[in-house]
Amino acid sequence: MKYSIEFRPAVLKSLKRFPKKDLVRIKKKIEELSSELPSPNTTKMKGNNPFHRIRSGNYRIIFEIHDDRVIILIVKVGHRKDVYKQLP
């Protein structure tokens, strides 16, 4: 089953600031995510939250899976040193 991808508005704004080489890699990773969802056991973040994460070089993609609507909501994309700060 193919999931559709949705972005929070802040994510789209932040993607414009990334270097082109890294942006291409991040977009490719997001496209792969929509066609083949990784195991939630390996991507689920610790704690009582709905967030999952995947790695793309030095960047992390934080997302939520909404199985009832078959949607993956990209919550935040950023460098690994500060992406986990101030999650919504």
Is residue 88 in a domain? no
Range of the domain at 15: 4-79
Tally of structural domains, the chain: 1
The model's pLDDT over 31-73, given as tens digits with 9 standing for 90+, comes to 998 888 888 888 899 989 999 999 999 999 999 999 899 999 9
CATH of the domain at 21: 3.30.2310.20
Instruction: Give the full edge-to-edge strand order of the sheet including 4-7.
Output: 4-7, 71-79, 59-66, 51-56
Is residue 17 in a domain? yes
Calpha distance 47→43 (Å, rounded)? 13
Which residues neighbour 80 within 8 Å (Cβ) at sequence distance 6 or greater? 55, 58, 59, 60
DSSP single-letter state for residue 27? H
Which residues pair with residue 44 across a beta bridge? 52
Instruction: Check: pTM over 0.85? Answer yes or no.
Output: yes
